[in-house]
Structure 1
């Protein structure tokens, strides 16, 4: 196997790890580029397990990136959402993977420190042992075990349940869009959970709510206002699956203006995630292969 073959074989796994740690397609691609350069320069004859080596390199590079972007995100204008990623149908068949890349989970991961995030992602999503993870994060196995316990408790206390994309959830999305565009506020209210939350990310580069909107009444009125001012005769709406969730893409003259991902639980919309920042939209229509690997021992 050549160096290119090994990197290409494991690229979906490496990209998934980097994306879950960074919440950004652009940053994940940068990490993979840096990791490939390191992989190209190493003496591969001395590497018994290429996948283990590549996962360690990507983890370390992701940690470096995450520490660097933390300050940048603290200065972000308005709410920050992860860069949406278009997911293939098979992602929704893997419940752990679908939840791990959901908008809600990615927001929870943002509240962890970089090491906690790396440990949680590698252990709870990808199934690596504490000992295996210790070699990547530069901690002892005992310390990693403690970090994992703390991170898991933090995540489980804040996680939000949702139903992956399906015929049923897509039908709810269609009803929501119809009600919003026709001004049927009661129909909207019937689709929203009482504690529904709407989060808009404009990044200071597009019009968006500067803080989360909560509650059925306020979210319904906000949705009607957006539909009234943002959807015109030239607007086209596409249905898609992003981050394992049903989504609607709003396009004007072929340009993606905003993406709306729907969090649905027990037949009601519990979360709406609207991405309007153009920096996060120009890659949003490309399907990205995601992979959790074969979940076999890492063999560091």
Structure 2
């Protein structure tokens, strides 16, 4: 069993994390799945990976129903918990980009599980239909609709996973414009319909609502940066869900985590995590 745990735990964690959007919830759920297997008779399960996938996916769907109700009471904007790793850390297979993880919140739990398993892991439709408790034909339609909803929300073209350098360069130009307090220069880096999401969790100051539009977002960022520069501010390059991000610390204490999404050469989405419970280096 130890060999099975070591072999499949990273994969199962990715499945659960992508569906739930919370690290500890995903880890607990994967642990529960292995406990179930331990209680079974030896040889009772012949194909262990598909079995564990079904267990984790079904548990994730059930758990997400409860989590969605809890998130309705969340103070301000709720954002998924970012998977933060060092820049030199290894690539974590199957982990969806952060902006995709955020877009998945508009899907119901079954749609989300179907999207994750098919998109991130190319899971066979025949087996996916069993998890979703529907026919294979309906499952294909379910995945297709889910992908369209996510694509409409993310609006990223071209995908920046293939080449991280343009994203890194845009991040550097963005940070420089904020530091210089130049609203005109900053606005030129933003799409007109840009959206800024900020999660303080009721524990740190953050915009309660999503900010839309390049002028509104630019004004907000210039104001926030001006206040932060008055403090002992340091920057650290990190990765969030395998892509570049920046951690801001004040007097050595993590303060904010910044992640951006681009559409071509312009920023299309900005995510600022300020909830200290969600800024944890893995």
Q: CA deviation at 1:262?
A: 0.9
* TM-score normalised according to structure 1 size: 0.85
Give the Å deviation of 1:199.
Answer: 0.7
For residues 59-79 of structure 1, the C-alpha deviation after alignment (integer angstroms, 9 at most, x for no partner) is 111112101101001111111
Match for residue 157 of structure 1 among 152, 155, 165: 152
Kept in 2, the 8 Å contact 1:170–1:246? The answer is yes
Are 2:91 and 2:242, in contact at CA under 8 Å, matched by a contact in 1? no
For the residues of structure 2 that align with 1:45 and 1:274, how far apart are their CA atoms?
A: 48
**Aligned partners of 2:155 and 2:263 also within 8 Å:** no
Alignment-derived partner of residue 130 in structure 1: 125
Measured in 2, the distance between the counterparts of 1:140 and 1:172 equals 44
| Aligned position for 1:117 | 112
Q: Distance in 2 between matches of 1:152 and 1:263?
A: 18
Q: Is the 8 A contact 2:103 2:154 kept in 1?
A: yes
Q: Deviations over 1:214-234 (max 9, x none)?
A: 111111111111111123442
Given that residues 81 and 103 in structure 1 are in contact (C-alpha distance below 8 angstroms), is that contact kept between their aligned partners in structure 2? Answer: no
Which one of 226, 231, 238 corresponds to residue 229 of structure 2? 231
1:88-103, aligned counterparts within 5 Å?
88=89, 90=91, 97=94, 101-103=96-98
**1:245–1:263 CA contact under 8 A, matched in 2:** no
- The 8 Å contact of residues 20 and 26 in structure 2, kept in 1 or not, is answered as yes
1:84 equivalent among 66, 82, 85 = 82
1:270 corresponds to: 268
Seen in structure 2, the aligned counterparts of structure 1 residues 115 and 163 have a Cα distance that, compared at 3 Å, is: same
Please identify, of 24-33 and 232-241, the stretch whose mean Cα deviation from structure 2 is larger: 232-241
- Determine which structure has greater relative contact order: mean sequence separation of CA pairs < 8 Å that are 6+ residues apart, divided by chain length: 1
Judge conservation of contact 2:231–2:251 (CA < 8 Å) in 1. Answer: no
Q: Which runs of 5+ in 1 are unaligned?
A: 287-300
Q: Deviations over 1:184-224 (max 9, x none)?
A: 22221222122211110111111000111111111111111
In structure 1, C-alpha distance between the alignment counterparts of 2:127 and 2:220, rounded to whole Å: 47
Structure 1 runs (4+) greater than 6 angstroms displaced: none
Q: Give aligned pairs, total.
A: 276
How far apart, CA to CA, are the structure 2 residues paired with 1:61 and 1:247?
31
Could you state the TM-score of these two structures normalised by the residue count of structure 2?
Answer: 0.90
Distance across 1 between alignment mates of 2:25 and 2:248: 25
Residue in 1 that maps onto 2:6: 8
Helix, strand or coil at the partner of 2:84:
coil
| CA distance in structure 2 between the partners assigned to 1:151 and 1:268 by the alignment | 26
TM-fit CA distance, 1:81: 0.9
